[in-house]
């Protein structure tokens, strides 16, 4: 299933292909692909090269996966159970850690996409429960839960979720978020 972005301007094919499905195939991810994903995260930029990112990864059927699943809100549990890999991103607090962890996840996502995998990041989970279950050190925060896998068939999802799974992707137009002079002034460069 492909949901390629219908862009106004040409962008890299991987960026057009990337999207966040909820239907994942019952297929194990090759270790080499997981290694490449986290290697891509490793080489993302960070302020003062502090690299404040950490990841707690679980494979379906292991204890770590079950703990991550238990941290998810009920809505996300309904579909994330199909993903073969769940992980949590953790950031060590500094002035830019959320930005830096986000960049590392973007790099990870694009590597995953290049390898035929799909990544769905979630804010819908208990950060406090994750901190407790995984004994995160002081000044370390759970930031996102992430599901990774090969694309699955939408029919495995609850009927309400199937609709969004099949819907065309949408994004705001650039003129509502790219400004010049002051906030709200449309840029003539775009």
Along the 190 residues of the chain, how does pLDDT read in single tens digits?
678 999 999 999 999 999 999 999 999 999 999 999 999 999 999 999 999 999 999 999 999 999 999 999 999 999 999 999 999 999 999 999 999 999 999 999 999 999 999 999 999 999 999 999 999 999 999 999 999 999 999 999 999 899 999 999 999 999 999 999 999 999 999 8
What's the CA gap between 120 and 189, in Å, rounded?
32
What's the CA gap between 108 and 34, in Å, rounded?
9
What's the CA gap between 176 and 186, in Å, rounded?
7
Residue 186 DSSP code:
B
Phi, psi of 118 (to 5 degrees): -125, 145
User: CATH assignment of 24-153?
Assistant: 3.40.109.10
The residues spanned by each domain of the chain are: 24-153
The answer to whether 106 and 188 are in contact (CB under 8 A) is: no
What's the CA gap between 41 and 57, in Å, rounded?
14
């Amino acid at each position: 299933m492909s949901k390629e972005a219908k862009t106004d301007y040409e962008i890299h094919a991987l960026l057009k292909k990337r999207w966040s499905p909820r239907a994942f195939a019952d297929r194990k991810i090759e270790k080499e692909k997981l290694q490449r994903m986290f290697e891509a995260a490793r080489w993302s930029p960070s302020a003062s090269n502090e690299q404040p990112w950490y990841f707690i990864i679980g494979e379906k059927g292991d204890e770590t996966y079950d703990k991550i699943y238990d941290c998810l809100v009920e809505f996300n549990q309904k579909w994330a159970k199909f993903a073969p890999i769940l992980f949590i991103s953790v950031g060590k607090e500094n002035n830019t850690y959320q930005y830096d962890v986000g960049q590392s996840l973007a790099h990870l996502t694009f590597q995953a996409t290049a390898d035929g995998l799909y990544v769905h990041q979630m804010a819908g989970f208990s950060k406090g429960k994750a901190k407790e279950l995984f004994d995160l050190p002081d000044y370390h925060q759970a930031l996102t839960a992430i599901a990774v896998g090969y694309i699955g068939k939408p029919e495995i999802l609850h009927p309400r979720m199937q609709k969004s799974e099949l819907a065309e992707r949408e994004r705001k137009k650039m003129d509502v978020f790219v400004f010049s002079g002051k906030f709200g002034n449309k840029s003539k460069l775009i």
